[in-house]
Structure 1
């Protein structure tokens, strides 16, 4: 890497973007910090000091001459999970550590990973997941089909309306209310359907299970602040889901 400030500043900008993408893909805090530290050292830094929480990333690069360079980024954590993007980012980090690539190529690879991907797999997985859970928890085949149909609505809401809300809590409240209304109306029209079985199948697509699991893992790894933040956020998201479904049941009065 060149020793000019331009390249070093550009590297830190790319590392901040990469850290945000890792968090948004569901990576735990230790993984994000370790990845950014290793890449920075691979590009010639004498030492990298990285501090990550779910809402902020701070990177301080110590150059060979002792000069310090610090960059900070505010992160809008959504609690989403994308294992495909996470795998691609891990592969990119290993590539950069073994054989540092030019900045232009690094930036291009990040943009390719960040590009929106087809939603077909999301729809298929959601349909199979919601239908299977509805049957698994005691529902009949009709409940499974109904839950699978509602899963399409859930995916559509997640795809088209997420950016319309200021935070995940409000989105979960809105999404669960709309989904709850649809399920309640289906049950009123088709009396052979079981409300609880359909709801439990579809709510499995919305609960922040991985975020809650990562929060416990972060705390066990010593990242107590991030772990507590994730845990509180997960509880609030789950509470918003419960309130949305309860409001829908109360309004339709099934």
Structure 2
């Protein structure tokens, strides 16, 4: 009987670890800050009665352990995107666990369902939003209203190129480079044939949907929170992404 209780306790501890790691992985893959992921995992473990846990989160992996004989677990983060809706829902599940509304198995099933769900907006809506944002950025940067529609067209086609190239190629930063190249080329053609006037404003407005704003913000917030490894790595990724965008536009003017 005692051995059965020990096995049951070990099984419950393993399930708690799986729940914490799954929540952390979903948040990191969806663009959450490092300190938020560690805090959420710690709070979830404490809600299930485990107080002495340790976590180390980086953009490419999560290490989670607790005091005792239980083994340390590692989860690899291979893909990252921006889906703040999933981050918010993981936080909601964490609050329900803390308030006692969700048991461990229910929480695990809820997180598995959330992990499999596709909460992103439809592709056509993303392209439409990027196109309208490009025109609005042009006006914000003191462009003329006559260039609004060219910026909308260039920005929409450029963002479509980003999604298309990223879908077929998995080379990091190549999609941003190719999309900015398309934007620069289209902007030059629009101005050359008289459909636009201010070339620089059209290009600046059109590339803004490609700028890694969330990466930059998370890098600064992680550095301020003392997570230097994650902050520097996210900052490097943001810098290389921005460099790829600038290089794509520069290639148009060079050739």
Normalised by the shorter chain, which TM-score bucket?
0.7 to 0.9
Aligned residue in 1 for 2:109? 107
Any idea what SS the aligned residue of 2:209 has? Answer: coil
Q: 1:132 aligns with which of 107, 132, 136?
A: 136
User: Once the two structures are superposed, what CA deviation does each residue of 1:148-170 show, in whole Å capped at 9, x if it has no partner?
Assistant: 22332244334443243334322
Corresponding residue of 2:4: none
Bigger radius of gyration:
2
TM-score by length of 2: 0.84
- 1:48 counterpart = 2:50: no
Query: Using a 3 Å threshold, how does the CA distance of structure 1 residues 44 and 196 change in structure 2: closer, same or farther?
Result: same
SS at match of 1:60: strand
Give TM-score, length-normalised by structure 1: 0.85
Deviations 1:128-179 (A, max 9, x none): 3211111121222232212222332244334443243334322211222223
Deviation at 1:4, TM superposition (A): 4.6
Structure 1: 5+ residue runs without aligned partners? Answer: none
Q: 2:233 aligns with which of 229, 232, 238?
A: 229
Which residue does the alignment assign to 1:94? 95
Q: How many matched pairs?
A: 246
Aligned residue number for residue 31 of structure 1: 36
CA distance in 2, matches of 1:39, 1:167: 36
| Alignment partner of 1:118 is 2:134 | no
2:58/2:230 contact within 8 Å kept: yes
- 1:88 and 1:113 in contact (8 A); partners too: no
Q: How far apart are residue 245 of structure 1 and its match?
A: 0.9
Distance in 1, matches of 2:25 and 2:111, equals 15
Shift of 1:52: 0.4
For 1:218-238, what per-residue CA distance to the aligned partner results, in whole angstroms no more than 9, with x for missing partners? 112111111111111111111
Greater shift, 229-238 or 2-11, is seen at 2-11
| Separation (CA, whole Å) in 2 of partners of 1:68 and 1:82 | 32
CA contact (8 A) 1:89 1:113 kept: no
